[in-house]
Copies of this chain bind each other. A is one copy, B any other.
């Protein structure tokens, strides 16, 4: 039981009483309105500071029908890409004194849908999201859009939706990754990926297929390994089985956590990277450079993607940005390291 409880809660009425003014004047003075005299403003500010006045966030939000709050909905948080993106988002909202509610779908469509339904409550002014990998039906998203809440998607976007989107050039990145492996001498390249609908997964797969096709290799799907989207040992088993069966000499892993699984699988089978199999992974992990061996990565501009997403969202919120929704494609970067050395 703490002291100084509810009893001494100071609100505008308290200030008004203290200064013999009306709450209307207090309100205007605090918002630095033009039609309040400088002296009154001084007095109000002083009293507010002295009495430790803090405006009630919900009263203000209710009245203004806006909350200075946005939601961030992502599949996972223990993932370098997403946590770096959050940093980018935070870098633009913090200076504006906006607040961020964070929600994790754990890649579940049901959770995602219920989160979006809830957001129609006026809780947030806008939303930045990356869809769950098993989200196919997008009606929950459209319903929220219809309430007028702007949504900006990043990385995992829905193709059938009209909205602002920030993505990387996944097709090209996968194409580049595959080409990089081919140039390193690989003849039999596998794609280690996860199941799901987001376009980034299919784009990465298409890029991979195209690179093989352009080099006269017809894969017949044998080179595609589908893992679960959880960081579990199960994936190590799936990858090992594939390595044993198909004996690929090159692997492209499409999401961050598959790097560890792939390395462990190779290790358990005593396959040497890059001698027996070369590996490249889409990941933003900072430890890539000190892995055994250092891992060639497709590095996404996670921080800047988050930053851009937030900036576009604020453009919408402020009414500054009125053009049609756009898809912004930001370049990823292949960082070559020992895991793909010839």
A121–B56 CB distance below 8 A: yes
Tell whether A137 is near chain B: CB-to-CB under 8 Å: no
- Chain B residue contacts of A212, Cβ below 8 A: none
Tell me the nearest residue of chain B to A288, going by C-beta.
B287
Tell whether A305 is near chain B: CB-to-CB under 8 Å: no
Q: What separation, in Å, do the CA atoms of A120 and B263 have in the docked complex?
A: 48
Interface residues of A in 282-298 (CB under 8 A from B): 285-287, 289-294
Tell me the nearest residue of chain B to A72, going by C-beta.
B102
Tell me the nearest residue of chain B to A69, going by C-beta.
B101
- Chain B residue contacts of A103, Cβ below 8 A: 99-100
Q: What separation, in Å, do the CA atoms of A253 and B145 have in the docked complex?
A: 48
Which of A78-86, A171-179, A186-194 is near enough to bind chain B?
A78-86
Q: What separation, in Å, do the CA atoms of A267 and B287 have in the docked complex?
A: 13
Q: What separation, in Å, do the CA atoms of A191 and B336 have in the docked complex?
A: 32
B4–A146 CB distance below 8 A: yes
B interface footprint on A77-100 (CB within 8 Å = 1, 0 otherwise) = 111100110110010001000011
Contact of A264 among B55, B80, B290, B293 (CB under 8 A): B290
B interface footprint on A243-282 (CB within 8 Å = 1, 0 otherwise) = 0000000000000010110011001000000000000000
Q: How many copies of this chain are found per oligomer?
A: 2
B121–A104 CB distance below 8 A: no
Q: What separation, in Å, do the CA atoms of A122 and B118 have in the docked complex?
A: 21
Tell me the nearest residue of chain B to A76, going by C-beta.
B87
**7 smallest beta-carbon distances between A and B, as pairs:** A292-B292, A263-B290, A57-B121, A54-B120, A4-B146, A58-B62, A57-B123
Contact of A58 among B99, B122, B289 (CB under 8 A): B122
B2–A146 CB distance below 8 A: yes
Tell me the nearest residue of chain B to A293, going by C-beta.
B292
Q: What separation, in Å, do the CA atoms of A62 and B123 have in the docked complex?
A: 13
Tell me the nearest residue of chain B to A61, going by C-beta.
B58
A148–B5 CB distance below 8 A: yes
Among A94, A103, A145, A263, the one with the most B-chain Cβ atoms within 10 Å of its Cβ is A94
Tell me the nearest residue of chain B to A3, going by C-beta.
B146
Contact of A83 among B77, B94, B121, B145 (CB under 8 A): B77
Tell whether A59 is near chain B: CB-to-CB under 8 Å: yes
- Chain B residue contacts of A62, Cβ below 8 A: 56, 58-59, 62
Interface residues of A in 198-236 (CB under 8 A from B): 231
A287–B289 CB distance below 8 A: no
B interface footprint on A1-45 (CB within 8 Å = 1, 0 otherwise) = 011111000000000000000000000000000000000000000
Identify 27 residue pairs between A and B in the complex whose beta-carbon atoms are under 8 Å apart, listed by A's number: A4-B146, A4-B148, A5-B147, A6-B148, A52-B120, A52-B143, A57-B122, A57-B123, A58-B58, A58-B62, A58-B67, A59-B62, A87-B104, A94-B111, A99-B101, A99-B103, A100-B101, A101-B101, A102-B102, A260-B287, A263-B290, A264-B289, A267-B290, A285-B287, A290-B291, A290-B292, A292-B294
